Structure 1
Amino acid sequence: MSAARRRRLPDEVRAAVVRAVLCLAFTMVGLLIATLASYADSWLMTPALMAMGLGVFGTMWCLLEILISRQVAAQRMRGPNSASPMAGSRAPGGARPVPRPGGPPNGTATPQSRVPTAYP
């Protein structure tokens, strides 16, 4: 049983994931410092809480960046002027026209029943 090979993520997506992990680590360190400072009744609790708040904001920002960069990479993979997400998934010439009611009985395509594949 072989493991399915996954495609490598595009560079901009991998960079966004690295930034998100670093921001999450920064947030976790802020949480740890804030917890320890609260046990010790230290003045470091306020800056640690502010750093943790910035870290939460930054982590959410990075997660949103991951989603956007994945969508941009997926659009780039589909190609220009691609209207549907499945465009380019079939080999060219492999699709058969769908017979319409009132059309020829054998399902052959007439010039009137063909649907254009791309719009100008």
Structure 2
Amino acid sequence: MDTAERNGAPGGMVDHLAADGRYESGVAGRQPYYRPLWVEEPAKRRRMPDPVRTAAVRAVLIISVTLIQAMTAFLCTLAGSWLAFPMVLSSVASTVVATWSVLDVWVTRQVWNQRNGVVSAPSSTARALRRERRQARRKARAAERSRQRIRRQRGRAGQLSHP
């Protein structure tokens, strides 16, 4: 007999906490309350891009095969089997391939970030520096425009009328 049945609720229905803090049972004319199997939660991190995820899965599979080979080589060595030497050689080669696959994940991730950009929010200091640079450029452009205006006015000083 489960807890819900002991509390008077038929199998499958459970007691739940009401809004006012009381426990309500799923009987006595009320709508039965069924507890969901799982609760959807938002992901804490964004999903990896497809190429990076593919490389990561490949790396995990290669690493697991490498670990199985190393364990088999160790057990064959302990047993004194003729298979120990070939297994050790294949384990060494597999270790090199596993290292390469981990580097492949890292390089694939870097390439993807470089090609598709990284979503990032600039810090307040970076924003302030950019604002200062923009203001300095605006002042420089305004000063250049005023110098150009003065030069044009000086060039016309000896003229009596417009050409």
* Category of TM-score, reference length = shorter chain: 0.5 to 0.7
Alignment partner of 2:71: what SS? Answer: helix
Structure 2 length as normaliser, TM-score? 0.50
For residue 109 of structure 1, what is the aligned residue in structure 2? 139
Partner Cα distance (2:74, 2:65) in 1: 14
Q: Distance in 2 between matches of 1:69 and 1:61?
A: 12
Paired amino acid for 2:113: A
5+ residue gaps, structure 1, are 79-84, 114-120
Runs of 4+ in 1 over 2 A off after TM superposition: 2-5, 97-100, 107-110
What residue ranges of structure 2 are gaps of 5+ in the alignment? 1-40, 144-163
Q: How many residues align?
A: 97
Q: Could you tell me how far 1:10 is from its partner in structure 2?
A: 0.7
Partner of 2:139, secondary structure, is coil
- State the shift of 1:5 in Å: 2.4
| Residues 19-44 of structure 1 deviation map (CA, whole Å, 9 limit, x = unaligned) | 11111111111111111111111011
Identity %: 31
Q: CA–CA distance in 1 between the matches of 2:66 and 2:109?
A: 24
The equivalent position to 1:97 in structure 2, one of 121, 128, 132, is 132
C-alpha separation in 2, matches of 1:32 and 1:22? 15
Partner secondary structure for residue 48 of structure 2: coil
| Structure of higher RCO (CA pairs closer than 8 Å, 6+ residues apart) | 1
Alignment of 1:1-120 (within 5 A): 5-78=44-117, 89=121, 95-98=130-133, 109-111=139-141
More helix by share: 2
How far did 1:4 drift? Answer: 6.3
Cα distance in 1 for partners of 2:74, 2:107 equals 34
Please report how far the alpha carbon of residue 99 of structure 1 lies from its aligned counterpart in structure 2 after TM superposition.
7.9
1:71-96 CA-to-partner distances (Å, cap 9, x unmatched) read 11111222xxxxxx89x746xxx752
8 A contact 1:97–1:109 mirrored in 2 = no
What CA RMSD, in Å, does the superposition of the two structures yield over aligned residues?
3.2
